[in-house]
A = this chain, B = another copy of it.
Amino acid sequence: MSFSPLVDRLLEALRVLPGVGPRTAQRMALHLLERERDGGRRLVEVLGTALEQVGYCQRCRTLTEEPTCTLCRSARRDGALLCIVESPADMLAIEDAGGYHGHYFVLHGHLSPLDGIGPDDIGLALLDARLDEGGVEEVILATNPTVEGEATAHYIAEQIRERGLRLSRLAYGVPMGGELEYVDGGTLSRAFNGRLPFQGD
């Protein structure tokens, strides 16, 4: 743009949003200024408040503006199950899928010694304290199926093995609805090694 320095700054600021390039930023800025000033002001207010108040849940480290999140405070969740994920997005994906009714613990990343990210940075002291409380019977390691995610899962498993809890991980295999032709080799060989008895139903 060239007619307003402030609008230029707005275009630049909007590009902090993921997937927003110059064209989309322009469309967003003009939309807000031309047609949605009220909605824009609401966004300013809510985003400002969220950035100020949203921190980590004291029990599970997911994002919340309260000391503990609504999920940790819910009486309807199964306290015997604790699912460890790398990010709140993973937690939401599992919630959206439905079927799991236990609790979560959010690492906000994975171990990465080269980047200086160690056990303290992913909240493992809090995880220990959480398990000390008792009540958890099974820990489900749901880190990403990447080298770093698996290394992190193995590290955590090692740390909590002596507690005698049931330890599990998500099943790896061919994604539902996909075509074998397009499944990568690593996933295919995992799926072969983990093959199960066929149950016609």
Contact = CB atoms under 8 A, between A and B. Distances in A.
Interface residues of A, number: 59
The 8 closest A-B pairs by CB, nearest first: A16-B39, A3-B69, A13-B46, A6-B65, A44-B48, A4-B64, A13-B43, A18-B31
A123 interface: no
Secondary structure dominating the interface of A: helix
Interface of A: 1-7, 9-10, 12-14, 16-19, 24, 26-34, 36-37, 39-51, 53-54, 57, 62-66, 69-71, 87-89, 91-92, 95, 108
Contacts of A54: 4, 6-7, 33
A39 B31 CA distance: 20
Contact of A42 (B13, B32, B46): B13
